């Protein structure tokens, strides 16, 4: 008889210019990147094991991103969601660094032009912020709209990416 084993969820929290980021991983794949006070945080079942060393590559890439030295992440991901949510999250990864798409553009790119609201809901449930760049989705009129990490962080991330493209990197953050 075989017994089912549950993979350990490893975790660590790192500082960033937009506040603490909590990382989670299972079997060497990133399953979460969450901000303090973020909407839709996963339920902590108390089964997380602290292990900063397991996140060495992720932390190095995040540090390089915030320093303006990295525009594309190369991190193994394991995002848990429905098939539609995973399609939306894959679509998010196709938005070029420093650019934005509207919810309608993203809906079109994931194959359902009428699914703007569903795309917005899936975007809001993205478990791996920044690396799966849900902050790059804006309203049809170009305004910043909902962001689980808060609109101030969304604005900071978009401004940071634009500054990097213009050659003006820097990790300072005003406000919170």
Set 30, 77, 131, 134: catalytic member = 134
With contact defined as beta carbons under 8 Å apart, do 109 and 91 qualify? yes
Active site residue 93: no
Q: Which residues of the chain have pLDDT under 50?
A: 1-4, 172-176
What was the pLDDT predicted at 3? 43
What are the DSSP calls for 30-48, one per residue? EEEEEETT-TTPPP--S-E
Query: Which single residue is written with the structure tokens 């917005």?
Result: 120
pTM to 2 decimals?
Answer: 0.88
Query: Which single residue is written with the structure tokens 């689980």?
Result: 148
Query: What's the rounded Cα separation, in Å, for the pair 147 and 164?
Result: 21
Distances (CA, A) of 168 to 16, 60, 96: 18, 20, 18
């Amino acid at each position: 008889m075989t017994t089912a084993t549950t993979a350990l969820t490893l975790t660590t929290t790192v500082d960033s210019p937009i506040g603490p980021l909590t990382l989670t991983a299972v079997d060497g794949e990133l399953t979460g990147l969450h901000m303090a006070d973020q909407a839709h945080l996963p339920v902590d079942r108390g089964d997380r094991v602290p292990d900063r060393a397991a996140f060495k590559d992720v932390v190095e890439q995040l540090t390089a991103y915030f320093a303006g030295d990295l525009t594309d992440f190369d991190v193994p991901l394991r995002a848990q969601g429905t098939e539609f949510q995973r399609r939306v999250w894959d679509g998010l990864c196709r938005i070029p660094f420093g650019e934005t798409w509207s919810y309608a553009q993203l809906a079109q790119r994931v194959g359902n032009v009428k699914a703007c609201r569903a795309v917005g809901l899936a975007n809001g449930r993205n478990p791996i912020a920044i690396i799966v760049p849900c902050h790059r989705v804006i309203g049809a009129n170009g305004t910043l709209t909902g962001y689980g990490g808060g609109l101030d962080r969304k604005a900071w991330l978009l401004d940071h990416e634009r500054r990097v493209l213009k050659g003006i990197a820097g990790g300072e953050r005003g406000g919170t």
